[in-house]
Amino acid sequence: MYNNELKFSLWCDFVERSFLENEFSSLVEKNIVNAATSNPSIFKSAFLGSPAYKEAKTLLEGRPAKEIYETLAIQDIQCAAGKLLSAYESGNDGFISIEVDPFLCDDAKATIEEGKRLFKAIAYPNVMIKVPATEAGFVAMEALLSEGIHVNATLVFSKQQTQNCLDAFSRANLLLKEKGVESLPKAVISIFVSRFDRKLDDMLSKIDFPMGRVGIMNALRCYECIKAYGLENVRALFASTGVKGDRFREDYYIRELLVENTINTAPLDTIHAFVASKECKAIEYTSEMIENFFNALAANEIYLDEVSDTLMDEGLRAFKEAFVEILNELK
Q: List the catalytic residues.
A: 130
Q: Cβ distance 134 to 106 under 8 Å?
A: yes
The string of DSSP letters for 148-184 reads: T-EEEEEEE-SHHHHHHHHHHHHHHHHHHHHTT--SP
Q: Cβ distance 17 to 45 under 8 Å?
A: no
Q: Cβ distance 73 to 98 under 8 Å?
A: yes
E strand or H helix that includes residue 141: helix 135-146
Residue 109 CB: number of other CB atoms within 10 A? 12
Strands (E) across 186-321 are located at: 187-192, 234-239, 262-266
Strands (E) across the chain are located at: 9-12, 96-99, 127-132, 150-156, 187-192, 234-239, 262-266
